[in-house]
Structure 1
Amino acid sequence: MSYPTAHAPSYWQKTCQRVLDGFYPRVCRHCEVRLPDEAPRQGVSAWFCDPCQDELTAIEAPYCSVCGEAFSGAMTQAFRCSNCSGRRLAYDFAVAGYKITSPLREVIHRYKYGRDLSLRAAVADLMLPALNDPRLAAEDLTQWLLVPVPLHITRRIWRGFNQSWELCRQISRSTGIPAAQPLTRQVRTESQAHLQRRKRLANLKGAFALSRPFPWLPRQDLQGRNILLVDDVLTTGATAHECAKVLKLEARVEKVVVITAARG
């Protein structure tokens, strides 16, 4: 994998951080216990105390080569899980940093539904391990494009932000991978959370389209580009499939890889 990492903080930045820590001590974003002064500024340890970190479950091989769902046991070659077998999915593959267990579930819920924008950096840091997937190892990811799953405008107004776009912006700052919003959600669909897989797919038909900044301007040219489609959680993959289908059929992108903080 090839992308620039954040520069080490300067002396003055470190000094300012120490001063701020004196007024606003850093705490675990799940249980709110105070973090030690020597806790790092990036990565999981920057946001969670040791006991909460122990409750996080990183996704490691073996996992489905398409949707990224983790499995136990020994696998000697790439495989498709039963949910992906026989399905023609528009995205190439999906990878996630962690399983959707506590405390990550609660943090993402507060970020999205509690509208706690301060949690975006924590969630974005939990997504970075997904970029270490072996299938991305030979890629210069700075030539790829971070693209968020879009929200319908009414939901975005209610929430105050699109959580996926905020994650794109945060990851872009950390890695140098550019970000853009070429997709729009043109239909306000029923919430996917409590729908079965078949109903999720039907619920999303025609929900997404390519966007343009103004009606008289052309759409962004994405032909031949490689896309990192960003969302907070992947469950059935229905939303990612519909977004990837628009990107591939209409924008003519080359590849779509889904990255999320958590796998449901």
Structure 2
Amino acid sequence: MDRIEAPYCSICGEDFGGAMDRDFVCSNCSGRRLAFEFAISGFKANGRLREVLHRFKYSRDLSLRGLLADALMTALEEPRLAKEDLSQWMLVPVPLHWMRQVQRSFNQSWELCQELSARTGIPAGQVLWRTRKSATQARLNRQERLENLRGVFALPPRWRFWSRGADVRGKKVLLVDDVLTTGATSHECARVLRREAGAEKVVVITAARG
């Protein structure tokens, strides 16, 4: 598997060839106001890892979550995270719409959160709610993805008292997902976590970078 190594964009974590002697921001992130601090992934989403991700999500092969947690552990080695006391942070998964979760029988991001929490001791909690089933993102460009996800994520409504999320007010959050592509999903989740849930900061970690 191809590990993500420097040089990479200091915001979205996309890797670039060549030598860099300082931090840089890629053209896709330059000028954008993103709700998360930065994103970092363990490996590139190609080759064998792409196959693993597909089997995990769509073939329900939960035995692969350990391998993907290994990739997340690699992401945690990023220098900006390595110097933090992550036991004071919280792992939060990107939510699935309830219909999709019923079809799949699990949320892959929550599975990874629990696996990573068991290994590191970082607490994990479900905070966000997906308000509607959005169109698939795979064939959309960056702007279309942002429009597609607008208003999709929220805190659980008060009447859903049985599914109220964990309290992240004033806390630092590691937003967990399997793959990061354009960052549109992560941005929308981080926006809700900061503006509505009161999180101090949000950093995105994923097993793979698309």
- Give the alignment's TM-score, normalised by structure 2: 0.96
Kept in 2, the 8 Å contact 1:182–1:212? The answer is: no
* Correspondence 1:88 to 2:37: no
- Name the counterpart of 1:100: 45
Separation in 1, partners of 2:177, 2:94:
6
SS at match of 2:111: helix
Kept in 2, the 8 Å contact 1:66–1:92? The answer is: yes
- Name the counterpart of 1:11: none
- Name the counterpart of 1:232: 178
- Name the counterpart of 2:62: 117
Name which one, 1 or 2, has greater alpha-carbon Rg.
1
Separation in 2, partners of 1:216, 1:189:
24
CA drift of 1:125 comes to 1.2
* Correspondence 1:71 to 2:1: no
Q: Let me know the Cα RMSD of the aligned residues.
A: 1.4
Residue identity (%):
61
Question: Partner letter of residue 161 of structure 1?
Answer: F
Gap runs ≥5 in structure 2: none
Kept in 1, the 8 Å contact 2:125–2:165? The answer is: no
Separation in 2, partners of 1:145, 1:154:
26
Gap runs ≥5 in structure 1: 1-55
Deviation by residue 1:109-155 (Cα, 9 ceiling, x = unmatched) = 11011121121111111111110111112211011000000000000
Separation in 2, partners of 1:235, 1:94:
11
Question: 1:151 is matched with which residue: 96, 101, 108?
Answer: 96
SS at match of 2:80: helix
SS at match of 1:123: helix
Question: 2:2 is matched with which residue: 36, 45, 57?
Answer: 57
- Name the counterpart of 2:209: 263
SS at match of 2:47: coil
| Shift in alpha-carbon separation, 1:225–1:102, aligned structure 2, 3 A | same
Question: Partner letter of residue 92 of structure 1?
Answer: E
Q: What does residue range 1-264 of structure 1 map to in structure 2 within 5 Å?
A: 56-211=1-156, 215-216=160-161, 220-264=166-210
CA drift of 1:262 comes to 0.4
SS at match of 1:199: helix
Separation in 2, partners of 1:76, 1:254:
30
CA drift of 1:213 comes to 8.6
Separation in 2, partners of 1:229, 1:75:
28
| Shift in alpha-carbon separation, 1:102–1:180, aligned structure 2, 3 A | same
Deviation by residue 1:166-223 (Cα, 9 ceiling, x = unmatched) = 0000000111110000101111100111111111000000000112696357764322
SS at match of 2:76: helix
Bigger relative contact order (CA 8 A; separation at least 6):
2
SS at match of 1:245: helix
SS at match of 1:132: coil
Separation in 2, partners of 1:216, 1:60:
43
